């Protein structure tokens, strides 16, 4: 779309009570690199990504999603988006200004329709990153984030109207109706997906691996380490990407994936896939079946940060 100003997903920020355990998980077996710390805050980068960090952890008495951060191309685009939000009556958490985080930059924060804090920024310094080696089974970059919403279609309309996301595909079933919308802000099939849930919460965070081999080696490493394994390995139909889902120490679902589809946006038409068909959830047929347990874990706990801005 011509007025799309969001370019990509930057990072996902989490707050947790057991900060030390969470920090050890992400900087250890999960394979991220801690690049900065500051009094109960840890910034974690992916070795193959130019983003300064892809996950921020913060110590808090309650578990919550602090924010989801997206990039824009220029500070002028950030200002244009902020003005668009004001004109539409969207609540700004902060006004556009300099960011005091690794890499700096210029940005602002707002509440989405469900009360999540969203940050939009530009001008962030590029981190020195590297090409991962064959069989190096650590995340290359952040792939996508999936959010639970009690009003799926209203949340979809909000992200389309205010932030310029486009619908790529939808999951549906004869008994439940539409349950997930895959949304894009660039040719990648989805940087954001919205899932129908009983409450506002984080569904999962997904990390891109170098390739199939690295994805499988990483999956195996986590299983051998005793990390709680929820679903996979398999390959979804929508997005055509691989999946292996695990739980972090605070019960957030995290995913290793690779080969997420890139679309020709000029010719793409969204599909509605019936996820009651097993080949839709897993084309390979290698994953454990999608069931109530998998769904329940993905609902996560009700978010403790709805319409409450994070302190930093």
Sheet of 55-59, strand order: 33-37, 41-45, 55-59, 6-16, 64-72, 117-122, 106-111, 92-98
> How confident is the prediction for the chain on average, in pLDDT?
96
| CATH code of domain 6-122 | 3.10.180.10
CA 91 to chain CA centroid, Å, is: 22
Residues 6 or more apart whose Cβ sits within 8 Å of residue 8: 70, 71, 185, 186, 191
- pLDDT average, residue stretch 236-247: 98
CATH superfamily of 143-299: 2,3-Dihydroxybiphenyl 1,2-Dioxygenase, domain 1 (3.10.180.10)
What pLDDT shows up at residue 3? Answer: 81
Q: What is the mean pLDDT of residues 181-195?
A: 98
Does 143-299 match 6-122 at the fold level?
yes
Q: Strand 141-149 to strand 201-208: parallel, antiparallel, or no bridges (unpaired)?
A: antiparallel
Tell me what the mean pLDDT of segment 139-165 comes to.
98
Residue with tokens 């801690």: 34
1-51 per-position pLDDT tens digit: 458 999 999 999 999 999 999 999 999 999 999 999 999 999 999 999 999
Please name the residues in contact with 148: beta carbons below 8 A apart, sequence gap of 6 or more.
Answer: 195, 196, 197, 198, 199, 200, 201, 202, 203, 298, 299, 300
pLDDT at res. 289: 87
- Say what percent of the chain tops pLDDT 90: 96
Q: Please give the C-alpha separations between residue 220 and each of 196, 229, 246, 256, in angstroms, as whole numbers.
A: 30, 10, 12, 11
Domain residue extents for the chain = 6-122, 143-299
Query: Which pLDDT tens digit goes with each residue over 136-150?
Result: 999 999 999 999 999
Q: What is the pLDDT of residues 92-139, one digit of tens each?
A: 999 999 999 999 999 999 999 999 999 999 999 999 999 999 999 999
pLDDT at 201 over 70: yes
The confidence score (pLDDT) of residue 1 equals: 41
Q: Is the pLDDT of residue 166 over 60?
A: yes
What does the pLDDT look like over 252-271, one tens digit per residue?
A: 999 999 999 999 999 999 99
- What's the whole-model pTM score? 0.97
Residue-level pLDDT at 208: 98
Kindly state the tokens that stand for 132. 């991962």
pLDDT, position 295: 83
With 50 as the cut, is the pLDDT of residue 302 above it? yes
Q: Say how far apart CA 297 and CA 295 lie, in whole Å.
A: 6
Q: What pLDDT is recorded for position 296?
A: 87
């Amino acid at each position: 779309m011509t007025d799309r100003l969001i370019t990509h997903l930057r990072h996902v920020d989490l707050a947790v009570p057991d900060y030390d355990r969470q920090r050890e998980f992400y900087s250890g077996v999960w394979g991220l690199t801690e690049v900065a710390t500051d009094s109960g805050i840890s910034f974690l980068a992916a070795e193959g990504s130019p983003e300064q960090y892809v996950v921020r952890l913060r110590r808090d008495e309650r578990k919550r999603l602090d924010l989801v951060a997206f990039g824009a191309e220029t500070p002028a685009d950030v200002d244009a988006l902020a003005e668009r939000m004001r004109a539409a009556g969207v609540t700004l958490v902060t006004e556009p200004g300099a960011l005091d985080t690794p890499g700096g930059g210029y940005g602002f924060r707002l509440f989405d329709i469900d009360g999540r804090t969203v940050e939009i920024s530009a001008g962030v310094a590029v981190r020195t990153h590297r090409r991962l080696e064959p069989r190096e089974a650590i995340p290359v970059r952040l792939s996508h984030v999936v959010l639970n919403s009690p009003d799926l279609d209203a949340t979809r309309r909000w992200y389309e109207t205010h932030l310029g996301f486009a619908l790529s595909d939808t999951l549906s079933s004869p008994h439940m109706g539409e349950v997930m919308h895959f949304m894009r802000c660039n040719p990648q099939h989805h940087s954001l997906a919205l899932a129908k849930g009983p409450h506002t919460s984080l569904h999962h965070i997904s990390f891109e691996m170098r390739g199939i081999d690295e994805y499988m080696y990483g999956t195996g490493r986590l299983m051998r380490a005793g990390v709680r394994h929820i679903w996979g390995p398999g390959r979804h139909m929508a997005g055509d990407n691989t999946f292996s889902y695990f739980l972090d120490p605070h019960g957030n679902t995290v995913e290793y994936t690779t080969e997420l589809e890139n679309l020709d946006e000029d010719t793409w038409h969204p599909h509605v896939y019936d996820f009651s068909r097993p080949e839709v959830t897993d084309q390979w047929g290698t994953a454990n079946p999608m069931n109530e347990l998998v769904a329940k874990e993905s609902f996560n706990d009700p978010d403790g940060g709805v319409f409450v801005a994070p302190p930093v």
